[in-house]
């Protein structure tokens, strides 16, 4: 009996095929195969919002192959990912392949391990139509918003804009935070740090706290200096000393949102990159001596539940590796927040005995870093509390109180494996250890340091803190956080400066319009309630047609009212003014967007047509001429570094400039990472110097050699393809006059390309022209 198993990705297919053996054929659908067509609404509003699905363009070959395999097979298992999206893909597969009820079943795997795969195959079920309805409702909602609201934005703001339910609210969070920062009025305050020394020679610092009546805030310099003058030259004496023990418990295992936040903080990974690498770990990695192995459980989850077998395994691992005292005696249970879907357990390693360092050679650098993060967090969450010996002392002088506090680690507990990161780098949980002293001891005052401070506005969101804010407000779900942030960045509603997110003038203009005219789209509470209603559809408590009808009535009314209110009006997006001065006319240049991204332009156009690329000073100097080295972006978006005096100086490098200087010639150093060995060195690029210093050891020699061989193999294949094309006569041909006339528009940008490559460019240009003429019904989907 032949059996077909359909999954989403080739990597997953390969891993599952290995576990199931020769009686099963495992094929990949490569994601969705059916969707709403791109060029029309395709929602029948008159007949219960019925969607019209069509095969996705370019997927014909995959569909034909799956149909052929399904016809040859006696039974089909639909094994797409265990979430709403995966359930919908399975339903579309059933419809596309015209599978009869007796010939197929749905199976899911929370982890891609041999026991989990076999268990899933042995426990098939029917497709969950409630899950499918919830996914369809979300898809239809997004289509309605995208196809009806985006053209409105084109008419009233700027062509090419788009809006979506979740992306619009995420953008509003960033805009509202920016408005808070602008409205913030700083307040002055002062601190006084006393540097003290014990009779035994130990030194520490104590901060001004107040007086005998309690804590006192110093509002200005006059108040601060009054304290400084009062205690200068006077004795400092140790007052009451409080000693105690503090327990610190481990944080819960990862869910999707916390994984994305921690990977951003500790690994500097974007949410999109985090989920991509996590998908690779879930689907399976080829481990030396073991073979294809799924390393983590499913990574789209909001549950803190852990499987009993995993808890038993980690308990034995902790006792064996760290000692009996590091295990708390019973499994730790973490409470999942109310409103969570709780469809899957928390993110954890599929086998805790696969220690990250032991399999490092089989993983890419990003895979290793993320796997280690997940493994460490899981092991730590089941370990004993850390115990800190704390001490706090009041230091007295002339009736004023200075306070010092610190701690030492009595027992590391879970911190021997892992400690959670924070968004505030300066955050401290108790200070440094204090020297030994007792109440009544006299202290020598080495120095008094008064300092002026001002209260700070709320920090701009980072990707990590924005995800946390979305989660706290109930906006979006685990599978939507990463794509939402990617969308608002890609559409230039928000920009990332270092790690901070800042709204663009475009983002602020669109958000202002939506908040004013479309409360149902930009309102936090409405969006969160919509997510809850989608959960109700998934639970079978609400019909998805009822949900859509309720939304659509209010949305259409709001659209009609907005059209009337803004009739004949157009909202202008202000250009972002920079401090770069136009060397031709003296105006401050502004940031514009073009075909290849952003650039600087003179606001005096058309009188002044000066433009220039946006560059960023790196603080390094050019090794050829001594001018500034600036950060640039190529037309394809790749970052490189070049001399600010280009084209007079042609210096360019991919190596990252450093502010540190070469010890031999005083030129700026550059950080170089070898593509094969991954070895990192700081090098001097000044001709004739040759200085180089190792910063980080590279991969083991065998792995470095493998990387080199892979690159050479890719280069050889590319050369073979080029030779084959040449042999087939695909050489440069002169276009006839008609063709040349049609290509006039593309000629400037494609001058260096061969004629063979110009034909596709021509088609692309035609498509773009067509896209620019889209009607309301052809608006871009979210």
How far apart are the C-alpha atoms of 204 and 433, rounded to whole Å? 9
Average pLDDT over residues 139-157: 92
Catalytic residue, from 298, 400, 461, 641: name it. Answer: 298
597 Cβ contact list (under 8 Å, min separation 6): 633, 635, 637
How far apart are the C-alpha atoms of 380 and 386, rounded to whole Å? 11
Q: How many helices (H) and strands (E) does the chain have?
A: 21, 31
The reported pLDDT for the residue numbered 596 is: 62
Distance (Å) of CA 764 to CA 527, 735, 759: 37, 18, 9
Q: Distance between alpha carbon 711 and the CA centroid of its chain, in Å?
A: 28
Q: Is the pLDDT of residue 423 over 50?
A: yes
State the helix-helix crossing angle for 463-473 and 481-490, rounded to 10 degrees: 120
Q: pLDDT tens-digit profile of 180-218? A: 999 999 999 999 999 999 999 999 999 999 998 999 999
Q: Is the pLDDT of residue 683 over 80?
A: yes
656 Cβ contact list (under 8 Å, min separation 6): 641, 670, 671
The residue to which tokens 């891609």 are assigned: 112
Question: Which token pair is 513?
Answer: 């319009």
371 is annotated as an active-site residue: no
Q: Distance between alpha carbon 126 and the CA centroid of its chain, in Å?
A: 34
Average pLDDT over residues 590-595: 78
Average pLDDT over residues 97-123: 94
String of b and e for 6-26 (b: at least 16 CB within 10 Å)?
Answer: bbbbebbbbbbbbbbeeebbb
The reported pLDDT for the residue numbered 765 is: 38
Q: pLDDT tens-digit profile of 641-651? A: 999 888 899 99
Q: pLDDT tens-digit profile of 438-447? A: 999 999 999 9
The reported pLDDT for the residue numbered 574 is: 82
The reported pLDDT for the residue numbered 605 is: 87
Distance (Å) of CA 301 to CA 123, 305, 377, 623: 21, 10, 16, 51
Q: pLDDT tens-digit profile of 706-730? A: 767 767 776 777 777 777 767 766 5
Q: pLDDT tens-digit profile of 296-321? A: 999 999 999 999 999 999 999 999 99
């Amino acid at each position: 009996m032949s059996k077909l198993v359909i999954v989403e990705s080739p990597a997953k297919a390969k891993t599952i095929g290995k576990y199931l053996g020769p009686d099963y054929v495992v094929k990949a659908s490569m994601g969705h195969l059916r969707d709403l067509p791109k060029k029309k609404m395709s929602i029948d509003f008159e007949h219960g919002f019925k969607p019209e699905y069509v095969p996705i363009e370019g997927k014909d070959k995959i569909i034909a192959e799956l149909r052929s395999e399904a016809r040859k097979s006696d039974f089909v298992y639909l094994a797409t990912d265990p979430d709403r999206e995966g359930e919908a893909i399975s339903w579309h597969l059933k419809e596309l392949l015209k599978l009869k009820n007796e010939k197929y079943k749905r199976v899911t795997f929370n982890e891609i391990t041999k026991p989990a795969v076999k268990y899933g195959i042995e426990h098939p079920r029917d497709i969950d139509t409630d899950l499918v309805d919830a996914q369809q409702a979300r898809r239809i909602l997004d289509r309605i918003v995208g196809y009806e609201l985006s053209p409105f934005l084109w008419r009233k703001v700027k062509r090419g804009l788009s809006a979506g339910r979740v992306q619009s609210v995420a953008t509003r969070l960033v805009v509202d935070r920016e408005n808070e920062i602008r409205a913030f009025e700083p307040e002055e305050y002062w601190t006084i740090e006393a540097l003290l020394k014990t009779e035994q020679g130990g030194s520490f610092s104590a901060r001004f706290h107040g007086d005998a009546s309690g804590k006192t805030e110093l509002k200005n310099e006059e108040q601060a200096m009054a304290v400084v003058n009062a205690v200068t030259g006077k004795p400092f004496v140790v007052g009451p000393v409080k000693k105690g023990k503090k327990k610190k418990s481990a944080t819960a295992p990862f869910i999707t949102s916390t994984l994305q936040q921690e990977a951003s903080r500790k690994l500097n990974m974007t949410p999109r990159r985090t989920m991509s690498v996590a998908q690779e770990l879930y689907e399976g990695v080829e481990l030396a001596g073991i073979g294809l192995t799924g390393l983590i459980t499913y990574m789209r989850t909001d549950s803190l539940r852990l499987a009993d077998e995993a808890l038993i395994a980690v308990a034995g691992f902790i006792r064996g590796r760290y000692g009996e005292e590091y295990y708390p005696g019973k499994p730790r249970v973490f409470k999942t927040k109310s409103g969570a879907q709780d469809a899957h357990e928390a993110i954890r390693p599929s086998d805790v005995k696969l220690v990250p360092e032991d399999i490092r050679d089989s993983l890419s650098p990003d895979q290793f870093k993320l796997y280690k993060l997940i493994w460490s967090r899981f092991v730590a969450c089941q370990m004993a509390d850390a115990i800190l010996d704390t001490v706090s002392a009041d230091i007295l002088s002339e009736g004023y109180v200075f306070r010092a506090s610190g701690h030492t680690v009595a027992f590391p507990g879970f911190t021997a494996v892992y400690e959670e990161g924070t968004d505030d780098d300066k955050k401290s949980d108790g200070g440094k250890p204090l020297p030994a002293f007792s109440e009544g001891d006299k202290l020598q005052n080495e120095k008094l340091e008064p300092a002026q401070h001002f209260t700070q506005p709320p920090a701009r969101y980072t990707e990590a803190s924005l995800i946390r804010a979305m989660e706290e407000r109930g906006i979006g779900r685990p599978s939507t956080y990463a794509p939402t942030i990617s969308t608002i960045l890609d559409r230039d509603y928000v920009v990332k400066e270092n790690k901070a997110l800042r709204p663009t003038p475009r983002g602020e203009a669109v958000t202002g319009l939506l908040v004013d005219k479309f409360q149902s789209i930009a309102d936090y509470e409405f969006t969160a309630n919509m997510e809850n209603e989608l959960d109700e559809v998934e639970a079978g408590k609400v019909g998805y047609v009822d949900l859509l009808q309720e939304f659509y009535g209010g949305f259409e009314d709001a659209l009609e009212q907005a059209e009337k209110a803004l009739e004949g009006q157009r909202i202008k997006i202000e250009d972002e003014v920079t401090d770069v001065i136009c060397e031709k006319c003296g105006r401050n240049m502004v940031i514009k967007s073009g075909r290849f991204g952003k650039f600087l332009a003179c606001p005096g156009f058309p009188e002044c047509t000066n433009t220039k690329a946006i560059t960023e000073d790196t603080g390094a100097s050019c090794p050829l001429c001594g001018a500034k080295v600036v950060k640039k972006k190529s037309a394809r978006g790749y970052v490189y570094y070049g001399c600010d005096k280009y084209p007079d100086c042609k210096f360019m490098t991919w190596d990252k400039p450093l502010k540190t200087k070469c010890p031999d010639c005083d030129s700026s150093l550059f950080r170089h990472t070898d593509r094969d060995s991954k070895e990192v060195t700081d090098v001097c690029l000044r001709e004739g110097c040759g200085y180089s210093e190792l910063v980080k050891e590279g991969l083991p020699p065998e792995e470095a050699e493998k990387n080199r061989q892979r690159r050479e193999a890719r280069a050889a294949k590319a050369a073979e393809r080029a030779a084959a094309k040449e042999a087939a006569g695909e050489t440069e041909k002169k276009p006839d006059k008609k063709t040349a006339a049609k290509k006039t528009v593309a000629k400037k940008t494609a001058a260096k390309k061969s004629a063979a490559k110009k034909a596709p460019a021509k088609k692309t240009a035609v498509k773009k022209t067509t896209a620019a003429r889209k009607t309301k019904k052809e608006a871009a989907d979210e």
